[in-house]
Amino acid sequence: MDDYSTAEVSEQLISDIKQSLAGKEYGSIEIYIESGRVVQITERVIKKTLRSGESNNKKEFVYWKPIRNRK
């Protein structure tokens, strides 16, 4: 069985997704699929510097951190 197939979701794939979600309070997890296989899991973390009621002089920073990339 292919560990990253979408036809049968393996324990390895579940484990990788759980690891990406562990301890997250903000952000997103993106799962990329090609030809019925998960080829990449990407974690997106956003650091917001603008709070409600503050001026727009501050910027939003976005960081991309690839977790796993398999083909």
Instruction: Report pLDDT for 19.
Output: 92
Q: In what order do the strands lie in the sheet with 28-34?
A: 28-34, 37-47, 61-69
Instruction: Report pLDDT for 56.
Output: 56
The one-character DSSP state at 5 is B
Consecutive sets of 10 residues in the chain, 71 residues long: mean pLDDT of each?
88 93 88 94 80 57 55 49
H or E element, residue 12:
helix 11-21
